[in-house]
């Protein structure tokens, strides 16, 4: 479903206004943009948390969620805030490091809670990094501190914010399954009805819940090519 279709009135903008029974003066396009972008955030947040094996990414992004940054001698902390197109990085999935032979190897994630003794004494000599610790949102600390600089020495894999709408969009569609596109219409109409105090707010609230449930079911059950296996836990009763 495209964002705006003034010819056939089949776009998100036109359908949302039709459900609200308002025109562009009463509920301008920028308000619908805000609603759709907020709903994109809702979907993205749920999709990222729903499945660790099937990484979600907005299909409107033109590049893969993979980036590189230089490894700098004596620098142990690195931040990954945005990708090369300016999208916010929400979650780091893994870090690989380029070795002297030109091959990448995976660094091992570690948390300070797993380190016994003083943190400053853990892998305190400079060398080849083996571990990384997420010390804050999208900031990592390498152990040990790198002793040499390497161009594109770190490759990072991530999940990021959605590809948002703006008021000039027409044929752009939400970067999620077409099964979820009606949810953007309902979300925009619901926000408008709530803001303007429209009589159909309760009806739209019910429809919003239906779309939210459908969205959750879509992400909860999408990994159909993997077979769930129950692993028993044995407890020694002696």
Per residue in 210-238, pLDDT (tens digit) is 999 999 999 987 665 555 555 555 555 55
Q: Report d(CA 197, CA 208) in Å as an integer.
A: 16
Tokens linked to 162:
């959605």
Per residue in 179-213, pLDDT (tens digit) is 999 999 999 999 999 999 999 999 999 999 999 99
pLDDT tens-place values along the chain, 238 residues long: 999 999 999 999 999 999 999 999 999 999 999 999 999 999 999 999 987 778 899 999 999 999 999 999 999 999 999 999 999 999 999 999 998 788 999 999 999 999 888 988 999 999 999 999 999 888 999 999 999 999 999 999 999 999 999 999 999 999 999 999 999 999 999 999 999 999 999 999 999 999 999 999 999 876 655 555 555 555 555 5
Sign of CA dihedral 48, 51, 55, 58: negative
Q: Alpha carbon 209 to chain centroid distance?
A: 22
pTM of the model: 0.87
């Amino acid at each position: 479903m495209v964002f705006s279709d003034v010819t056939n009135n089949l776009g998100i903008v036109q359908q949302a206004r039709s459900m609200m029974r308002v025109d562009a003066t009463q509920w301008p396009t920028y308000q619908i943009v805000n609603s759709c972008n907020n709903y994109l955030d809702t979907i993205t947040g749920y999709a990222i948390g729903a499945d660790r094996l099937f990484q979600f990414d907005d299909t409107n992004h033109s590049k893969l969620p993979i980036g590189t940054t230089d490894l700098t001698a004596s620098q142990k902390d690195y931040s990954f805030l945005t990708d090369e197109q300016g999208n916010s990085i929400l979650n780091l999935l893994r870090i690989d490091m380029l070795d002297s032979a030109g091959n990448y190897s995976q660094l091992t994630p570690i948390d300070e809670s797993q380190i016994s003794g003083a943190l400053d004494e853990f892998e305190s000599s400079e060398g080849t990094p083996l571990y990384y610790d997420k010390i804050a949102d999208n900031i990592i600390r390498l152990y040990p501190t790198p002793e040499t600089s390497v161009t594109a020495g770190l490759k990072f894999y991530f999940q990021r914010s959605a590809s948002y709408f703006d008021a000039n969009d027409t044929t752009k569609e939400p970067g999620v399954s077409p099964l979820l596109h009606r949810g953007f219409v309902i979300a925009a109409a619901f926000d408008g009805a709530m803001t303007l105090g429209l009589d159909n707010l309760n009806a739209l609230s019910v429809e919003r819940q239906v779309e939210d449930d459908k969205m959750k079911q879509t992400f909860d059950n999408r990994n159909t090519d993997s077979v769930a296996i129950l692993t028993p836990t044995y407890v020694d009763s002696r």
